Amino acid sequence: MRSDPVSWFARLGPGMMLAAIAIGVSHLVQSTRAGADYGFSFALIITLIVVLKYPAFRFAVDYASATGESLVKGFAAHNRLALAWLAVAFFLDMFVATAAVALVTAGLFISVFDLPFSGPQVAAMLTVLTAALLLNGRYMKAERIVRMLVVLFCALSVLAMLLALPLLGSDQREVFAAITPDRASAAFIIAAAGWMPMPMTGAVFHSMWICEKRRAAPAQFDHRQALLDLKVGYGLTLAIALCFLVLGTAVLFQTERVVPQTAGAFATELLSIFTTVIGDWSYPVIATAAIAVMWSTLLTLLDALPRVSNQLVSLIAGSKADARSRYSAFLLIQVAGVIFLLLFLMRGFTTYIDFATGAGFVAAPALAYYSYRAVTSSAVPAAMRPGKALTAWSWTSVAVLAICALAFFALRLF
């Protein structure tokens, strides 16, 4: 008997929340820049890094489905060093990553509405507004909003990519560029790959959303459904990344383009890609969808990080993790830190974005390693532990992520 497609779509939840985190800075900014600067040569790099990060997200599904707990509990059961690495990752995401997402979202607002404010100023205002909305809602409301916004934007991105395909190689322009092994190329590869398709903390968030979903609809979201949900959401992140790579290549590659230095200028360039491909008539729809998907990313980060921080502190302090007041307190701390970073420490749009996305590698190897340790612990039934192939895949991921983390520090320090 065939399932009702509407019912099937309604059961998709955590995977769409995952896509909401991914389809943001890494896609709109870094994938587009990769196509503009290197053409379609970057496709292999994007695909490899997405594939390499997959085991940690798969382990998040397996662990949450088997235990009913998030990976935060799995890390805590291992040792305090695992929790320390988790705290480092959360700190980076709570402030550095959220500020980057807010800045890109602000650029779109500035470009579309011609606002007379700077990117950091608008980003600070958006952060406050989004936090205020979250304080009055819960997960399921956020999930429904995010699901609709992500699907709309993905449909528009695929349409634009299909219409851009005939432009590839037009005006005798090349499609591929040689990626030379120099410092500039290495720095951009690390920056683009750090959040491709998302930071590794996305696996922890995903495990929490699975637990939320199972509590809300236990009969409709078993392990099999959770795996399908992950594959849809995670596969979508790769497909959309390649869409933006094609758009950047078709419209901007080998055009003597000047890299925009402000959030508003970059947003204007981004929206011009869509209107060049689809037509000026599409501007209102594209602008609305782009703002929606970036805002959904900001909403997701502001919703998820206080939840994870709440649970982490609860494990350390031995208190309950579901105190609403403590969630609110962490959200207010996050908002204050993001505003301080935006208004007083910002040093330029592309410079900050590259730093923020590259910093995604700082704790990535540790999170990949401890995700594997969690899913191979005694808390998970033997039937749900990874087999030999997935284990080898996981260890390869840890090794490559460690090399990338060392490269990030080397490029920053020397």
- What pLDDT score does 225 carry? 86
Task: Note the pLDDT tens digit of each residue in 315-359.
Answer: 766 666 555 667 888 999 999 999 999 999 888 899 999 999 999
Q: By mean pLDDT, which of 10-14, 73-77, 147-151, 211-215 is the weakest?
A: 10-14
- What pLDDT score does 78 carry? 86
- What pLDDT score does 48 carry? 96
Superfamily classification of domain 13-413: Amino acid/polyamine transporter I (1.20.1740.10)
Q: Which two tokens stand for residue 337?
A: 């830190």
Q: How confident is the model at residue 139 (pLDDT cuts 50, 70, 90)?
A: very low
Q: Is the model's pLDDT at 13 over the cut of 80?
A: no
Q: Is the model's pLDDT at 122 over the cut of 90?
A: yes
Q: By mean pLDDT, which of 84-88, 110-114, 253-257 is the weakest?
A: 253-257
Q: Is the model's pLDDT at 313 over the cut of 80?
A: no
- Of these ranges, 87-91, 162-166, 407-411, the one predicted with the greatest mean pLDDT is 407-411
- What pLDDT score does 144 carry? 64
Q: How far apart are CA 114 and CA 323, in angstroms?
A: 41
- What pLDDT score does 102 carry? 96
Q: Is the model's pLDDT at 263 over the cut of 60?
A: yes
- What pLDDT score does 140 carry? 52
Please name which of 15, 69, 2, 394 lies closest in space to residue 226, comparing C-alpha atoms.
15
Q: Is the model's pLDDT at 97 over the cut of 60?
A: yes
Which sequence spans correspond to the domains of the chain? 13-413
For range 105-122, the mean pLDDT: 95
CB proximity list for 196: less than 8 A, separation 6 or greater:
26, 30, 31, 46, 49, 50, 241
Q: Is the model's pLDDT at 2 over the cut of 60?
A: no
- What pLDDT score does 291 carry? 87
CB proximity list for 272: less than 8 A, separation 6 or greater:
251
Q: Is the model's pLDDT at 374 over the cut of 90?
A: yes
Cα Rg of the chain (Å, integer): 20
- Higher pLDDT: 170 or 78? It is 78
- What pLDDT score does 188 carry? 94
- What pLDDT score does 394 carry? 97
Task: Note the pLDDT tens digit of each residue in 211-223.
Answer: 888 877 777 778 8
Q: How far apart are CA 133 and CA 328, in angstroms?
A: 12
Q: Is the model's pLDDT at 409 over the cut of 50?
A: yes
The fraction of the chain above a pLDDT of 70, given in percent, is 91
What phi and psi values does residue 348 have, to the nearest 5 degrees?
Answer: 130, 145
- What pLDDT score does 319 carry? 64
Q: By mean pLDDT, which of 147-156, 172-181, 253-262, 311-320 is the weakest?
A: 311-320
Q: By mean pLDDT, which of 179-193, 243-257, 290-304, 314-328 is the weakest?
A: 314-328
Q: Is the model's pLDDT at 281 over the cut of 50?
A: yes
- Higher pLDDT: 315 or 93? It is 93
- Higher pLDDT: 137 or 216? It is 216
Query: Is the CB of residue 282 less than 8 Å from the CB of residue 122?
Result: no
* The 3-state secondary structure of the chain, one letter per residue: CCCCHHHHHHHCCHHHHHHHHHCCHHHHHHHHHHHHHHEHHHHHHHHHHHHHHHHHHHHHHHHHHHHCCCHHHHHHHHCHHHHHHHHHHHHHHHHHHHHHHHHHHHHHHHHHHCCCCCHHHHHHHHHHHHHHHHCCCCHHHHHHHHHHHHHHHHHHHHHHHHHHHHHCCHHHCCCECCCCCCHHHHHHHHHHHHCCCCCCHHHHHHHHHHHHHHHHCCCCCCHHHHHHHHHHHHHHHHHHHHHHHHHHHHHHCCCCCCCCCCHHHHHHHHHHHHHHHHCHHHHHHHHHHHHHHHHHHHHHHHHHHHHHHHHHHHHHHCCCCCCHHHHHHHHHHHHHHHHHHHHHCCCCHHHHHHHHHHHHHCCHHHHHHHHHHHHCCCCCCHHHCCCHHHHHHHHHHHHHHHHHHHHHHHHHHC
| Average pLDDT over the chain, rounded to an integer | 87
Q: Is the model's pLDDT at 141 over the cut of 60?
A: no
- What pLDDT score does 209 carry? 82
- Higher pLDDT: 348 or 52? It is 52
